[in-house]
Amino acid sequence: MSAQSKQPTYFEFEADFVAALRCIPMQVRYNLDSCGIKLKLEHWNHFSPDQKQALAESPCQSASEVTAYGDRLQAWVTAQTGSSAKTLAIDPEPAWLNGNVVPEVVLAKAEDCGLAIAPQQWLEH
């Protein structure tokens, strides 16, 4: 692991597959959203274990890290499959990033589950 890499955070529900990284972990999915790349499981399955681990550990926060992450990922996809992964528009201000307002999609999903999220609860977390 390089000095720039970090230990990835995995969710409990990922425990069944995280050891072999046979599915794309949420940490990597977050990074994909950050750099605007739609990575298919088919692409993921072409990567080596070291490549998968690197994608989980590599930083993807600053503008330069996001660019480097996306460039490296696209190079790997192209090398493995002969074509690049689909790119997506990046929302510069996603609703979930605003800690002061519960996003409508979250409120709707909570309501579907018979739950309510008070604004104060959202602010606390």
Mean pLDDT per 10-residue interval, the chain, length 125 residues:
62 76 90 95 94 94 96 97 94 82 90 90 78
Q: How far apart are CA 2 and CA 54, in angstroms?
A: 9
- The pLDDT of residue 10: 74
Judgement on whether residues 47 and 104 belong to the same structural domain of the protein = no
Residue 6 lies in a domain: no
Query: Which of helix, strand or coil describes residue 100?
Result: coil
SS3 content of the chain, % helix, strand, coil (to 5): 55, 5, 40
Q: How many domains does the chain have?
A: 2
Verify that 44 and 77 share a domain, yes or no: yes
- Domain holding 40, by residue range, is 12-87
Shared domain for 17 and 74, answered yes or no, is: yes
pLDDT for 5: 61
Residues 18 and 60 in one domain: yes
* Same-domain status, 35 and 52: yes
2 Cα distance to chain centroid: 20
Task: Convert the pLDDT of each residue in 54-86 to its tens digit.
Answer: 999 999 999 999 999 999 999 999 999 999 999
Please check whether residues 44 and 78 belong to one and the same domain.
yes
Is 109 part of any domain?
yes
Q: Whose CA is closest to 61, among 105, 115, 5, 15?
A: 5
Q: 20 and 71 share a domain?
A: yes
Assigned domain for 7 exists: no
Q: What is the pLDDT of residue 57?
A: 92
For residues 114 and 71, membership in a common domain is answered with: no
Instruction: Please give the pLDDT value at position 14.
Output: 81
pLDDT of residue 4: 58
